[in-house]
Structure 1
Amino acid sequence: MPKLKVDGIEVEVPQGATVLQACEAAGKEIPRFCYHERLSIAGNCRMCLVEVKPGPPKPQASCALPAADNQEVFTTTPMVKNAREGIMEFLLINHPLDCPICDQGGECDLQDQSVAYGRGGSRYAENKRAVTEKYMGPIVKTIMTRCIQCTRCIRFAEEVAGVEEIGAIYRGEDMQITSYLERAVSSELSGNVVDLCPVGALTSKPYAFEARPWEQRRTPTIDVQDAVGTNVTLYSRGRQVLRSLPRINEDVNEEWATDKTRHHVDGLVRRRLDRPFVRRAGKLVPATWDEAFAAIAAVEHGGSVAAVAGDLADCETMFAGHALVTALGGSRLEGRQTGMDYDTSSLAAVNFNTTIAGVEKADAILLVGTNLRWEAPLVNTRVRKAIKKGARVFAIGPETDLTYKVEWLGADLALLGDLPRHVHDAFAGADKPMLVLGGAALKGGHAAALRLVEPLGLIKPDWNGFNVVHMAASRMGGLMLGYAQPGGIAALADAKLTFFLGADEVDFSRFAGFKVYLGHHGDRGAAAADVVLPTAAYSEKSGTWVNLEGRVQRGERAVFPPGDAREDWSILRALSAVLGQPLPFDSLPGLREAMFAAVPALRNPGLAAFEWNPPVLDGAAAGVIAGYPIADFYLTNAIARSSPTMQQCSAELLHGDMLAEAAE
């Protein structure tokens, strides 16, 4: 490990570290525009110049200079100061004075560093150049005259997203960043280039001219658009969430977020349920809470009561629903809305045991019935990192573009019982083998996949390579709370009273009994219900979610729900009193204590410990995987379907619709 001095401070850094990293280890701030910790080194902005001895008597780019023993680095000498001021002067010669109207204002690296390292004036007297705007799709707005050619967006698209659709054309002063043929960028991670852009060249198109960062309140919470559990910060003003940005969590999402995570938020204020409804004469009509509760109390159910949890439900809601169903004499609970039915006697057998961060260590990967790019995009980026380290990837299922090289073995599930010899050989020589079972194969291939654990050597003393990919934020929490009925959701169809806890993906025609829908959007569930009770969206309540790897995480309330909508658990508590079976909690802390007593693993945030005791299941896998569960990445739930931005992404990026834009 190299030892060197930075401004007289001795530091020791790992082999291969750069001088810039050594300076940061010494507590020195080094300005930069092109350098980013998660991207390859470009060394083209030159803002990170430092003086290094021994070496040539000139400033050197610290981001591209390897740290070495006995180096002396100086970050505050007159040479460095003059060099940085000169670089800043060059970067600003063509930059427009757009700060008053730029959406990057207040969060702009160029603003901050020009104040800290810039001169008071410019010696540039020639005409400034201008660059025409480029089209990059519904998510990214471009003002390319502001671009300083740091190439972060290009490197992200190639290295992380795996979609080589952003690049540079021309040379020198005429260089321009653009998308391929100025078409929309097709990556589901394209919004991350807005965070990466150190100037205002790439900004968020849906957020344009909406608000300034200092006007908004920031609330840490958990994203519910998929089962990854992306850590996000919701930015709100008044009673509206204006944007969702990722928080750094190395174990989950690093610092990335999908476009759906970022831009579904405009759906939080559209098509909202803000009052109870009761079906009368075949039509839903507005009602008071008392009238809605009375309609439910009038149902003669005789203990035939069930509950279905939706994909976005938090653990508190599901626990309260479980408690109410039990109090009314029922026991049937289900969270797998679309008819999935698999053994849940061992939670480890339906968990992502490798962990999301652990995927990077895998050296042989078998994907079975999963389109990771849509089902868990931020797990897919980890697979890309594993491939860069030498991992081989095999897949069973219909061929699709996962953004990396895959050897497709076919779409027949029978392959699980007869894998080709070279696949067995690859796994035999692997130190960290991994199998990923997706929703398209979980119902018919779970047993066969479990039988591969020993032949493929998936379990080692410090490694569990058996993984199941869930797509719903509520799924693992629901399984921990008992929302898995033998026979799946079909076993609930004859219930006389069914509570749908935000469940919108159900085939409601199969339910002949009385249907009570608790939800926040006027979507499929509300249209089919006999009584609609308006609830809070995930952004409007504090809740607990468990992601696909069994990680318990808590989110906080950012804004209050609209109109008469209330938090789900409080509605169920009030309803229980009307039904004569009051639940034993009157507050959120009281509910959580009862929930922790029932499921201790939910008490402490972090990875829940599931004992590896897989069931012995009979039956050979058979059948051909015709397609993957997610047909439209951008419209997977009620909030996304209510979002104009997600509707536009779906129409343009998936269905090829040409959307006209007005000239500005």
Structure 2
Amino acid sequence: MSAQPNNPGGTPAIVPEGHVTVEIDGQSLVVPKGSMIIQAADKAGIPIPRFCYHEKLPIAANCRMCLVDVEKSPKPAPACATPVMDGMKVATRSEKALKFQRSVMEFLLINHPLDCPVCDQGGECELQDVSLGYGRSVSRFNERKRVVPDEDIGPLVATEMTRCIQCTRCVRFTADVAGTYELGGMYRGENLQIGTYDGKPLTTELSGNVVDVCPVGALTNKVFQFRARPWELTARESLGYHDAMGSNLFLHVRRGEVLRSVPRDNELVNECWLSDRDRYSHQGLYSADRAVKPLRKVNGEWQEVSWAEGLAAAKDILAANNGDDLGVLVHPSASNEEGALLARLASGLGTGNIDHRIQNRDFSDAATAEVFGLSLAEIEAADTIVVLGSNIRHELPLLHARLRKAQTTRNAKIHAINPVDFDFAFKLAGKQIVAPSKFVDALGNADLRQAVTGNAVLIVGGIAENHPQAAAIRAAARDFAAATGAKLCRIPQGANAVGLSRAGVLPAGKDVNAMLAQPRKAYALYGIEPGLDFADTAAARKALAGAQVVAFSQFACASTRDVADVILPIGALPEIDATLTNLDGREQSARAGGKLPGEAREGWRVLRALGGELALSGFEFTDLAGLRASLAPVTVNVSTSAATPVAGEGLEVASTAAIYRTDAVVRRALALQSHPLNAAPRIVLNSDDAARLQLVEGQMAKVGTDAGKATLPVVVDARVAAGSVWIESGHGATAPLGAARVTVVAA
């Protein structure tokens, strides 16, 4: 929508079709027909006070703060809910309009506790700002103020509902954006209050956004509560790095400590929202096991050493085990700059054994991360959407929100092919709940292909991408897209999988599976928590245990200490300047926010120093600008390896990443670990399979493969496909189960 000044030079203006001419505060504007007064005013830069109106939420018109004076109208009109008409004249600052607005402001403050000095919203509160301009210095009401009891709605959002002015922004967010309908208005008249209907915590993966939309201090950030005042904080532009969307955000920092994250508007990526995973993960940066000094294992004991000694030890290991004896394994959230230097390091040491695809299992088609065939913004305009092998709500929470938006605003038809009938916040036009090995057949379903019409998109998620026969599924997805005209969107398995693929962090030699199945003499691990980050943890631990290992790590966790010989502490994304490339192929920059802990250093600095010690080419730059000037896409003739067969005994594994166990930082964010969506490790199977195996709900079962075994509680759920068992990765208890099939017996 646009509002353009009309007739600025005194000559008659041509009004485009579908537009009307209105006058606001004496300024003539041409605006789209059907626009609301407040929308036209906003686009023209004319301020109108408001509380309930939010451009991303449905109109409610219940705060009445935006009342304006419309010519020939006997009553004030709410600017947010009054459509413009041709020739309409509106006054937002006339004596009459100001009287309306001041009266509403006075009524809104009757019951407000006016506790700004102790309110977490103080200093960034819309109510404070508007009351300064429209409020009275003294209230004419001296009656007792009402008090509303607070609710505990979970570990992320704090409540002080006596401050609530019933704008219903939070209600509309949970209903219309998140789709969970968890908040609502209860009672009537002066007893109206906002809350949950059942007294349970919020379960939406986007719950932190109610803090952003709340115009007062009724809903605040529980993790940030009482930590700092807004004027003490410095904002740093950064990015979400826990999925491939690359949500734009600000880090709010005080004296080098990241105290909170808030969304940074970008309509092409995350709009104005932020997932809870990106919003609250900064807690994990301050875990007790953070790597803060270089460590070296001497006679089986860890010793703190200087950087010179740590780099020398790393140099000795890498120099003595170069060529095919060396493997380089990289976490897929590493930055473009780090990825480029790791590729140079591997090349300089004569090895093609470098890979970031640590969650993948099938490399027979040499597949790498690809840019989406349709951009995030364009997906909203799709007529038909097919989701293949993804719990999209957990894998990409904000893409899930866009799919819901496509359905609710454009009636998009959404189909799903999954091993579990996952809980989505939108209705499915069709679904096939089948074991992952049946995905290829499901894509060939004639009814599904006939249902794909118009502007269509096929979204392929982690269950498919990380399956032991992913190559066959990818081939079937390409065939489906070609036959139906759908745009193919394969979700990159890692925050910067696209960027690392472009940087050449791919194997010309052995891929990650081959490196672990045929152990190398030495490994360089970059940003990896070896006990939880690999698709096949058992194979990884076995291979690493028998080799010399240099770990560049943010955390000196138990699994890293078990396998490493040297640990070099590096910064996480919120602490470094870096670029990441998201699933749209958009290269985005993050600025250092938090202070590096202890003696930790930016990863690129550590790699530059190590490259210098090894006298390798490509490490001659002196600063980040010099490094970035040397970056260029790298083409790698990616090696292949045979696919793992799925045939055999046992139940087929449908593995998804637990929403708040996706990487080392998230796993250490205490508030996220307390969230209702963070379920305990378990195996989930349908009732028929449970009955056949003589298992019941809550019973402990032994789950095993040739590689490893685990004892887990049983959950019986009809949503799971027959012949499958659903397991969430990211837990220590499920880490040994990195196989295509598992046997399940009563413990």
Tell me whether 1:408 sits opposite 2:431 in the alignment: yes
- Secondary structure of the residue aligned to 1:453 is helix
Which residue is equivalent to 1:132? Answer: 149
Out of 288, 294, 301, which is 2:306 matched to?
288
The separation in 2 between residues aligned to 1:338 and 1:364, in whole angstroms, is 29
Which residue is equivalent to 1:96? Answer: 113
Which residue is equivalent to 2:592? Answer: 557
Alignment check: 8 A CA contact 2:362 2:643 kept: no
Tell me the alpha carbon deviations over residues 155-187 of structure 1, each in whole angstroms, 9 at most, x when there is no partner. 000111111111111001101111231110000
Q: What does residue range 205-284 of structure 1 map to in structure 2 within 5 Å?
A: 205-270=222-287, 271-284=289-302
Quote how far apart the aligned CAs of 1:501 are. Answer: 1.1
Which residue is equivalent to 2:377? Answer: 357
Which residue is equivalent to 1:323? Answer: 344
Out of 452, 460, 465, which is 2:480 matched to?
452
The separation in 2 between residues aligned to 1:415 and 1:581, in whole angstroms, is 46
Out of 469, 479, 490, which is 2:513 matched to?
490
Alignment check: 8 A CA contact 1:440 1:625 kept: no
Tell me the alpha carbon deviations over residues 462-487 of structure 1, each in whole angstroms, 9 at most, x when there is no partner. xxx11011242121111112223376
Q: What does residue range 153-552 of structure 1 map to in structure 2 within 5 Å?
A: 153-270=170-287, 271-299=289-317, 300-303=320-323, 304-342=325-363, 350-388=370-408, 389-397=410-418, 398-406=420-428, 407-412=430-435, 413-417=437-441, 419-427=444-452, 430-442=453-465, 443=467, 444=470, 445-458=473-486, 465-485=487-507, 488-493=511-516, 494-504=519-529, 505-506=533-534, 507-511=540-544, 512-523=546-557, 524-552=559-587
Alignment check: 8 A CA contact 1:635 1:646 kept: no
Which residue is equivalent to 2:79? Answer: 62
Alignment check: 8 A CA contact 1:335 1:475 kept: yes
Alignment check: 8 A CA contact 1:165 1:185 kept: yes
The separation in 1 between residues aligned to 2:417 and 2:478, in whole angstroms, is 15
- Secondary structure of the residue aligned to 2:80 is helix
The separation in 2 between residues aligned to 1:596 and 1:180, in whole angstroms, is 55
Tell me the alpha carbon deviations over residues 351-373 of structure 1, each in whole angstroms, 9 at most, x when there is no partner. 32211111101111111101110
Tell me whether 1:654 sits opposite 2:645 in the alignment: no
Quote how far apart the aligned CAs of 1:39 are. Answer: 0.5
Tell me the alpha carbon deviations over residues 257-290 of structure 1, each in whole angstroms, 9 at most, x when there is no partner. 0111111112212231110111223332222223
Structure 1 residues 119 and 414: alpha-carbon distance in aligned structure 2, compared to 1, 3 A threshold: same
Quote how far apart the aligned CAs of 1:222 are. Answer: 1.3
Which residue identity lines up with residue 477 of structure 1 in the other structure?
G
The separation in 1 between residues aligned to 2:238 and 2:330, in whole angstroms, is 20
**Worse-matched range after superposition: 191-200 or 528-537:** 528-537
Which residue identity lines up with residue 26 of structure 1 in the other structure?
A
- Secondary structure of the residue aligned to 1:13 is strand
Structure 1 residues 628 and 2: alpha-carbon distance in aligned structure 2, compared to 1, 3 A threshold: farther
The separation in 1 between residues aligned to 2:642 and 2:634, in whole angstroms, is 31
Which residue identity lines up with residue 38 of structure 1 in the other structure?
K
Alignment check: 8 A CA contact 1:375 1:471 kept: no
The separation in 1 between residues aligned to 2:511 and 2:364, in whole angstroms, is 10
The separation in 1 between residues aligned to 2:363 and 2:48, in whole angstroms, is 53
The separation in 1 between residues aligned to 2:644 and 2:81, in whole angstroms, is 55
**Worse-matched range after superposition: 243-252 or 637-646:** 637-646
Which residue identity lines up with residue 386 of structure 1 in the other structure?
A
Which residue identity lines up with residue 334 of structure 1 in the other structure?
D
Which residue is equivalent to 2:4? Answer: none
Quote how far apart the aligned CAs of 1:586 are. Answer: 2.4
Quote how far apart the aligned CAs of 1:622 are. Answer: 8.0
Tell me the alpha carbon deviations over residues 36-84 of structure 1, each in whole angstroms, 9 at most, x when there is no partner. 1011000000000001124x31211010111111111111111111111
Alignment check: 8 A CA contact 1:313 1:474 kept: yes
The separation in 2 between residues aligned to 1:619 and 1:500, in whole angstroms, is 24
Which residue identity lines up with residue 104 of structure 1 in the other structure?
Q
Structure 1 residues 22 and 325: alpha-carbon distance in aligned structure 2, compared to 1, 3 A threshold: same
Structure 1 residues 647 and 139: alpha-carbon distance in aligned structure 2, compared to 1, 3 A threshold: same
- Secondary structure of the residue aligned to 1:127 is coil
TM-score by length of 2: 0.81
The separation in 2 between residues aligned to 1:367 and 1:242, in whole angstroms, is 36
Which residue is equivalent to 1:660? Answer: none
**Worse-matched range after superposition: 438-447 or 477-486:** 477-486
Quote how far apart the aligned CAs of 1:293 are. Answer: 2.5
Which residue is equivalent to 2:656? Answer: 629
Alignment check: 8 A CA contact 1:318 1:501 kept: no
Structure 1 residues 246 and 218: alpha-carbon distance in aligned structure 2, compared to 1, 3 A threshold: same
Tell me whether 1:572 sits opposite 2:607 in the alignment: yes
Aligned residues: 628
Identity of aligned residues (%): 37
The separation in 2 between residues aligned to 1:475 and 1:49, in whole angstroms, is 50
Quote how far apart the aligned CAs of 1:548 are. Answer: 1.6
**Worse-matched range after superposition: 4-13 or 578-587:** 578-587
TM-score by length of 1: 0.90
The separation in 1 between residues aligned to 2:611 and 2:671, in whole angstroms, is 39
Structure 1 residues 563 and 369: alpha-carbon distance in aligned structure 2, compared to 1, 3 A threshold: same
Quote how far apart the aligned CAs of 1:503 are. Answer: 1.5
- Secondary structure of the residue aligned to 2:303 is strand
CA RMSD of aligned residues (A): 2.3
Tell me the alpha carbon deviations over residues 611-663 of structure 1, each in whole angstroms, 9 at most, x when there is no partner. xxxxxx99999889743421x2112211112222222226x75349xxxxxxx
The separation in 1 between residues aligned to 2:633 and 2:481, in whole angstroms, is 33
**Worse-matched range after superposition: 467-476 or 477-486:** 477-486
Tell me the alpha carbon deviations over residues 425-477 of structure 1, each in whole angstroms, 9 at most, x when there is no partner. 221xx22111011111124211111111221112xxxxxx1101124212111
Quote how far apart the aligned CAs of 1:344 are. Answer: 7.3
Which residue identity lines up with residue 520 of structure 1 in the other structure?
Q
- Secondary structure of the residue aligned to 2:425 is coil
The separation in 1 between residues aligned to 2:363 and 2:583, in whole angstroms, is 16
Which residue is equivalent to 1:659? Answer: none
Quote how far apart the aligned CAs of 1:415 are. Answer: 4.7
Structure 1 residues 302 and 205: alpha-carbon distance in aligned structure 2, compared to 1, 3 A threshold: closer
Which residue is equivalent to 1:586? Answer: 622
Runs of 5+ consecutive residues of structure 1 not aligned to the other structure: 459-464, 600-616, 657-664
Alignment check: 8 A CA contact 2:362 2:644 kept: no
Which residue identity lines up with residue 554 of structure 2 in the other structure?
H
Structure 1 residues 125 and 296: alpha-carbon distance in aligned structure 2, compared to 1, 3 A threshold: closer
Alignment check: 8 A CA contact 2:331 2:526 kept: yes
